[in-house]
Amino acid sequence: MEIESWTKKKKSIGVKWIYKEKKNIKGEVERYKVRLVTKSYSQKQGIDYDEVFAQGARLKTIQLIITIIVQHRWKIYQMDAKSALLNGFLEEEVYIEQPMGYEVKGHEENVLKLNKALKWI
């Protein structure tokens, strides 16, 4: 999450913390993970956003692309598509509420302006 600045109350999206336990093969807790996500269900299409993008690729398409790459002897790199989507820049102005536990004392009414996307639920 990259935050540009905080400002007085504007229309903002709520956020919440998601906690997960990562377990090993034996079922024992190996580590804990936490992430901040937006409550996107409070937004309305056409008012808060214009388009929706859902990434996806068919297996045949991926096989075809890899075949072309091999034939041309090009280099191929792997990337995490989820991270690529989250690291995209925002064209709209998006404001979020201050995350629970990270509120600025005396400025609780302020919201945060995002430069990059957060995970939406």
Give the tens place of pLDDT for each residue, 2-45.
444 555 666 788 888 889 999 999 999 999 998 888 787 766 66
Q: What is the pTM of this model?
A: 0.53
Closest CA to 116 of 90, 83, 81: 90
Asked if 116 and 89 touch (Cβ cutoff 8 Å), the reply is yes
d(CA 65, CA 115): 32
Give mean pLDDT, residues 40-63: 71
